[in-house]
Structure 1
């Protein structure tokens, strides 16, 4: 197998130049860069990641912590992260915590700083103390999809205004004429979906609409199904259901079908996120889309900046914790919402 030094000799450059080209770092002229790439191709060179990590004291990988790979949002987000990371020559390690803080801590202890240069964290149910410890050891951490831009978490993050997403969903139903609306919150009352529900309540309060019936449920299709059945059986006159995520919203549509209700003629349903299943369901789900690919790009970019800087070392100013805010969520109207029909 050819070595980096052999590639350098073939291209007539130094090994450092080859390394800079392969890692997209430093200032290398276009002609030199192409000569290096031609040499890599001609010799069939493949970098040895473990050797590189040992030699440089850093790994060309980023860790992405997710709470459940079974949730279709996370593979979609992971794909966007992988695409963004590839532009800087990084690979991505997916760490599925299965919503277990102990599993998450084990990943942080074993991977952060050894197999990965930095850590991206989604809603992985991790203890912030563990994340601060990881950061203090010199491995940067970035929270993705932080849901409260007005409440910085004390860690670098990319924030999305999910309260606004809930408000958009509520306003859409109200503008269609709905007043008896049920809500499914895919977390505990104080959990990660609280801001989404608060925005929905803001919309109802501003319009003078009656307070909604609410059920807290697992953030799954099954959880949404059970919550929707409970709502509809306790109040058959509901004309719409708002869910704080797309999976519970899809579950609500399944429950409506099993109860003999037609969506949207008898019941309108709206979610938040815009996962692929929302587009492919029948009827297609009306939802409030969040900029998933943009957030992934911002998160990877921020993490790369932190890796290249001295951020995270002792003595930094807590007021300087960086936050990037994504584009606002956008309402995507599909076939699952319409004007109410009295029942």
Structure 2
């Protein structure tokens, strides 16, 4: 592997001059700079990022922590983060915690402040005490797509109004004429999807409709979780004409369950989700959902993190910044329609 010293000898300059050219620092004449760049090309020199990080105490990388890279939303968000970071000359390290707080803590201990200048956290099930400790060690932390804009988490954040997303989805079903609407919540009770469900409940109450406990299921935020919850819900409650899911994956699972129960979507059952992942557009029928501003949230998160890095802001210096994205928006596709005027026959259980 070519070293910086070999580049310096080839160009007839000092290693410090090569370093200044690579980092666009110091005063280097145009002719000298070109000679160094020619030497870099001729020798195929590539900076060693880990070595630079150790030498300078910083790295041109940002860490993005996610709870499960198997969830297709996170690769889409990671791509948006990577694009925003690359525009500012940063690389992105993806840290998949696999919903394990201990793994997340290990990432924070090993990467934050050494291999990465700062950390973006996307629903990674991390203890806030660990995140505050990471800040105190000098590595800024930004929470991505915080779900409660009116309830700041005490850390720099980018928030999305997910309660509004729930209200939009429920209002759409109500406006279509549905009155017996079930809900699949893709988290535990009082879990991360609670604001989405609260928005759904608010819209139902505003329309003077009751949310029956037997019409609600909490399930894993997966296609399989949505399938199991919808199958049980629809089998036990044949009067339901529409299902609201707090995320697209459970909504897609609900469509599959409906098919296995002999129900047509949207003829017999309307289904809505939240997020608008690529699969929502490609499913058949295409899923009606509430799109959240993923690319905007990623860009805001990267911008906020870069500002914290550049200014050296410490958690004690000021109140944590919270940026809010533009509102979620309803995207109507083929999975929703008015309910049939005639009551459907009871389904076999």
Structure ID, larger Rg? 2
Written as runs of structure 1 = structure 2, the 5 A alignment for 1:171-186 is: 171-186=171-186
TM-score (norm 1): 0.90
Note the C-alpha offset of 1:19.
Answer: 3.2
SS, match of residue 139 in structure 1: coil
- Which segment drifts farther, 133-142 or 108-117? 108-117
Match of 2:23 in 1: 20
Cα separation, partners in 2 of 1:51 and 1:214, compared to 1, 3 Å: same
CA distance in 2, matches of 1:274, 1:97: 23
Instruction: State yes or no: 1:328 paired with 2:331.
Output: no
CA distance in 1, matches of 2:26, 2:139: 22
Count of aligned pairs: 337
Note the C-alpha offset of 1:51.
Answer: 2.3
Match of 1:189 in 2: 189
Cα separation, partners in 2 of 1:327 and 1:226, compared to 1, 3 Å: same
Match of 2:101 in 1: 101
Cα separation, partners in 2 of 1:203 and 1:7, compared to 1, 3 Å: farther
Note the C-alpha offset of 1:250.
Answer: 0.4
Instruction: State yes or no: 1:76 paired with 2:76.
Output: yes
SS, match of residue 231 in structure 2: helix
Note the C-alpha offset of 1:312.
Answer: 2.1
- Which segment drifts farther, 216-225 or 29-38? 29-38
Match of 1:285 in 2: 287
Match of 2:230 in 1: 228
Match of 2:311 in 1: 309
Written as runs of structure 1 = structure 2, the 5 A alignment for 1:128-139 is: 128-139=128-139
CA distance in 1, matches of 2:100, 2:122: 13
CA distance in 1, matches of 2:144, 2:112: 17
The unaligned stretches of length 5 or more in structure 2 are: 345-349
Preserved contact between residue 10 and residue 39 of structure 2 (Cα < 8 Å): no
SS, match of residue 119 in structure 1: strand
Written as runs of structure 1 = structure 2, the 5 A alignment for 1:27-42 is: 41=41
Question: Per-residue displacement from partner, 1:180-229 (whole Å, max 9, x unpaired)?
Answer: 10000001121100000111111111111232521111101111111111
Written as runs of structure 1 = structure 2, the 5 A alignment for 1:51-130 is: 51-130=51-130
CA distance in 1, matches of 2:23, 2:3: 18
CA distance in 2, matches of 1:83, 1:257: 38
Question: Per-residue displacement from partner, 1:244-293 (whole Å, max 9, x unpaired)?
Answer: 00000001001000000000010000000011111111111110011111
Preserved contact between residue 184 and residue 217 of structure 1 (Cα < 8 Å): yes
CA distance in 1, matches of 2:312, 2:294: 28
Written as runs of structure 1 = structure 2, the 5 A alignment for 1:192-341 is: 192-212=192-212, 213-312=215-314, 315-317=316-318, 320-341=319-340
Preserved contact between residue 7 and residue 43 of structure 1 (Cα < 8 Å): no
- The alignment's C-alpha RMSD in Å is 2.7
SS, match of residue 64 in structure 2: strand
Preserved contact between residue 8 and residue 18 of structure 1 (Cα < 8 Å): no
Preserved contact between residue 227 and residue 256 of structure 2 (Cα < 8 Å): yes
The unaligned stretches of length 5 or more in structure 1 are: none
Cα separation, partners in 2 of 1:261 and 1:44, compared to 1, 3 Å: same
CA distance in 1, matches of 2:195, 2:59: 36
Preserved contact between residue 11 and residue 39 of structure 1 (Cα < 8 Å): no
CA distance in 2, matches of 1:27, 1:172: 61
Note the C-alpha offset of 1:235.
Answer: 1.1
Match of 2:45 in 1: 45
